[in-house]
Amino acid sequence: MIDHTGIGVADVARSAAFYDAALAPLGLGRVRQLPPESGADAVGYGAAFPVFWIDRFHPPGAKYHTAFAAPSRAAVEAFHAAALRAGGTDNGAPGLRDPAQGYPPGYYAAFVLDPDGNNIEAIFRE
């Protein structure tokens, strides 16, 4: 199951105004916002936690980011190892992510780039 995904946008504020309106009828709203001065510029939409991000991490037209929900830390580690064996490129070893960088507590994840450069993540929420 997909945990969350996101797209790059040219102007986060402009796009956020659009998605605020477009996603409200679906029951989704802003649940997380990372300001530019934090080293990020992103808005996460969802109900309880972000399931869809708009951000400047990936410029418009860049590759996609998709995160798959994992049932355990071991599954995150197995995903990372299998993806590397299959030709992926490490983009973040398995481990807890730092809340100071905008991650919620207990966010255990690993990141790989697929052969086309898409950022693929496995995440276990503790």
Element at 13 (helix H, strand E): helix 12-23
pLDDT score, position 60: 56
* DSSP class of 32: E
Domains, the chain, with CATH or none: 2-55 (3.10.180.10), 65-125 (3.10.180.10)
Nearest CA-CA partner of 45 in 16, 65, 68? 16
DSSP string, 67-121: EEE-SSHHHHHHHHHHHHHTT-EEEEEEEEPPGGGTPPTTEEEEEEE-TT--EEE
pLDDT score, position 118: 73
Residue 101 gets the label, from left (phi > 0), alpha (psi -120 to 50) or beta, of alpha
**Whether residue 32 has pLDDT greater than 80:** yes
Residue range 40-51: average pLDDT? 88
pLDDT by residue (tens digit) across 71-124? 899 999 998 998 888 888 899 999 999 998 889 999 999 998 876 677 888 899
How far is 57 from 92, CA to CA, in rounded Å?
15
3-state secondary structure of 43: strand
